[in-house]
Amino acid sequence: MLRETARNGVKFAGRYALSYWGCGSECAQIGIVDLRTGRSYVSPFWVAGVGVKTRPDSRLLIVNDPAEVAKHFGDDVATIPDGYQPEYYVWTGQKLLLIEGGKIGREPQPFFERCKER
């Protein structure tokens, strides 16, 4: 998957390629490859939802982009199922850190249980 990410992944944070994959469920693991050095990163956690959004010039990664969530579930926040709320991460060059309450936190713990509930 990481070789495929390096070849075809979305350009991210200037010099990285990003992709995500699952095992047939709605959960996905994120892979990032440094296109200069070949070093790779695979998230130790899984994300669930409607996709991942990035920009080539930004270190911000959005899981469950609000626009995509609205396309699937409508604009009413009350109708959005658990696990589909937007999540924001920043790429440090070595790992993804979750942004919560406007603060950059630590690397998220694996949350397989949340994905298994689906």
| DSSP labels, 32-48 | EEETTT--EEEEEEEEE
For the record, the structure tokens of 21 come out as 């994959």
Rounded to an integer, the average pLDDT of 43-64 is: 88
Across the chain, mean pLDDT equals: 85
Q: Look up tokens 């850190």; give the residue.
A: 97
Which pLDDT score, from 0 to 100, does residue 112 have? Answer: 47
Cα distance between residue 105 and residue 46, in whole Å: 17
Q: What is the pLDDT of residues 91-108, one digit of tens each?
A: 999 999 999 988 998 777
**% of the chain at pLDDT higher than 70:** 90
Average pLDDT over residues 59-70: 90
In the predicted structure, residue 117 carries a pLDDT above the cut 80: no
Q: How many residues does the chain have?
A: 118
Q: Which domain holds residue 108?
A: 2-116
At 6-22, the pLDDT tens digits run 999 889 999 999 998 88
How far apart, in Å, do the first and last CA atoms of the chain sit? Answer: 24
Entry pTM: 0.83
Structural domains counted in the chain: 1
The whole-angstrom separation of Cα 104 and Cα 90 is 8
Query: Which residues, 6 or more positions from 23, have their beta carbon under 8 angstroms from its beta carbon?
Result: none
